């Protein structure tokens, strides 16, 4: 453990977004403690990707088993099919402004929450990461929530992150002593193309990542997550370094 570097906790799934957060933490010279949560997700191979990413950065890495906690979701049950969320539109991307960034106008919640919503997942992830951060003396928790997630998932929206931060400030020893742990969301206003561009600038090991909801390798190329990723690379005129069955 390096006592001369500021410590940070990264919630690392093994997907593109969290790997970009890992790359940023590494670029900032932080001593990285990566937490990967196993929650009976169908895309279990993403955990193998998380292990590979953690090794790439020489990070401290723990896999936390929360499988008994979560109720049925398209990410945990083979009986529920993931679908492309209708609020993303035909192209599977959020609207862009003139600079090519995601529009930041507040979006209303869709009429129904996507089937891929896992009940209170980010609440539990952040709570565990917070407890861990206090234990190891980390001052920052990285989480890869972003503009594509905001409309569909209530625990990915800026309002939720702000509320969780307030809870940390008043409900933890560190917070009440003026040393509050920060929930850091560097991707919160980015769409998938933004994130990929940022990841490439950081030289993130995107070839190690897996984002497919079905956990297939090669990735399916058809699920919501694959389509968003492929569209992001297409918008940038870049090739995705992972293999796809379709796409």
Which residues fall in the annotated binding site? 12-22, 212, 220, 223, 226
Bind-site residues for ATP: 12-22
CA distance 55 to 51: 6
Longest Cα–Cα distance of the chain, Å, equals 53
Beta partners for residue 65, in sequence order: 38
Annotated binding site for Zn(2+): 212, 220, 223, 226
Determine the Cα–Cα distance for residues 206 and 246; give it in Å rounded to an integer.
18
**Runs of H (alpha helix) within the chain:** 16-27, 45-57, 121-136, 158-171, 173-176, 192-201, 224-236
Closest of 172, 149, 173, 179 to residue 161, by C-alpha: 149
Terminal CA-CA length for the chain: 42
Residue 111, CA distances (Å) to 49, 85, 121, 142 in order: 34, 11, 20, 29
Q: Residue 61 pairs with which residues in a beta bridge?
A: 34
Is the distance from CB of 234 to CB of 192 less than 8 angstroms?
no
Paired sense of beta strands 31-38 and 7-11, if any: parallel
């Amino acid at each position: 453990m390096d006592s001369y570097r500021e410590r940070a906790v990264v919630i690392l799934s093994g997907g593109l977004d969290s790997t970009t957060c890992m790359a940023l933490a590494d670029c900032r010279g932080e001593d990285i403690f990566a937490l990967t949560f196993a929650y009976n997700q169908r895309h279990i191979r993403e955990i193998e990707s998380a292990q590979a990413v953690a090794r790439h950065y020489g990070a401290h890495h723990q896999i936390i088993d929360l499988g008994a906690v979560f109720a049925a979701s398209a990410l945990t049950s083979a009986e529920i099919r993931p679908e492309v969320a209708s609020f993303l539109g035909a192209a599977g991307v959020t609207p862009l402004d003139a600079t090519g960034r995601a529009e930041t106008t507040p979006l209303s919640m869709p009429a129904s929450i996507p089937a891929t919503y896992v009940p209170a997942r980010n609440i539990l992830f952040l709570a565990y990461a917070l407890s861990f951060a206090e234990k190891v003396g980390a001052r920052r928790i990285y989480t890869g929530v972003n503009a594509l997630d905001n409309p569909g998932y209530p625990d990915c929206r800026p309002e939720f992150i702000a509320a969780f931060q307030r809870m940390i400030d008043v409900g933890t020893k560190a917070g009440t002593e003026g040393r509050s742990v920060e929930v850091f969301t560097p991707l919160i206003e980015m769409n998938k193309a933004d994130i990929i561009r940022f990841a490439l600038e950081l030289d993130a090991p995107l070839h190690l990542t897996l984002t497919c909801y079905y956990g297939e390798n090669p990735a399916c190329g058809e699920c919501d997550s694959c389509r968003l990723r492929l569209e992001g690379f297409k918008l940038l005129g870049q090739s995705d370094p992972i293999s796809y069955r379709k796409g």
